[in-house]
Copies of this chain bind each other. A is one copy, B any other.
Amino acid sequence: MAKTKIQKKSGYHHGNLRGQLVNAAGRLIEKNGPDGFSMSDACRLAGVSTAAPYRHFSSKQDLLTEVAKDGLQRLGEDMDHRASQYPRGTVDSIAAIGRAYVDFAIREPHTFRLMFSTKEHTGRIEELKAVGRNSYGVLLQEVAQYLGEPEINETVMRSSFPLWTQVHGLSFLSIDGKLEVTDFPVDINDSIMIATERLLPAKS
């Protein structure tokens, strides 16, 4: 339960408008998609006037970027947590990271899409990239350990990239309902497992 409690605090103007707006935005985005999301809706949900958010965010996009950042952060935590349930640096732990990735996409498709789109985040792309890089590090770390590499070097990166590509594609195809195009049921877990085994280079 990561729901920030609705505190009115009632003394200071609103208590924590900034936080509540990010929260409201997140919920609304999952409900209507980033396009169907309106600043006004978020204001109504937070119970403030439509001008209030502009004390905390310079624009609608600025708010969306915040939601995206939060998502990338949580994705990284998910992956790390799921990997930790297996012996580190194994095919299993690496596949678990992939599952966490796809699961996140399915659980919060709109936020996921938002996290991986440049256009909405003009001006703050670097900031966002930093958070993303950090989460990506979870996979790199795991692959490094699998390969017995002492650090995250080029070999590790070149081995990890196809894995990322694969789960990224699987995520998008899933949330866009393209799995049914193939006329037979695609088992996501199987797909990840098979692809991980095939794409990972053999252990030296």
Contact = CB atoms under 8 A, between A and B. Distances in A.
Contact of A195 (B177, B186, B199): B199
A89 interface: no
A191 B168 contact: no
A118 interface: yes
Task: Count chain B CB atoms within 10 A of each CB in A113, A119, A132, A160 and give the residue with the most.
Answer: A119
Given A133-B181, A166-B166, A176 B35 contact: no
Main secondary structure of the interface of A (DSSP, over half): helix
A129 interface: yes
A19 B19 CA distance: 46
A197 to B, nearest CB: 10
Interface residues of A, number: 46
A161 B182 contact: yes
Interface string A115-158: 01111100001000100110010000000000000000010011
Contact of A176 (B110, B116, B194, B198): B116
A157 B184 contact: yes
Interface in A151-191: 154, 157-158, 160-162, 164-173, 175-178, 180-184, 186, 191
Contacts of A118: 175-177
Contact of A182 (B157, B183, B199): B157
A122 to B, nearest CB: 10
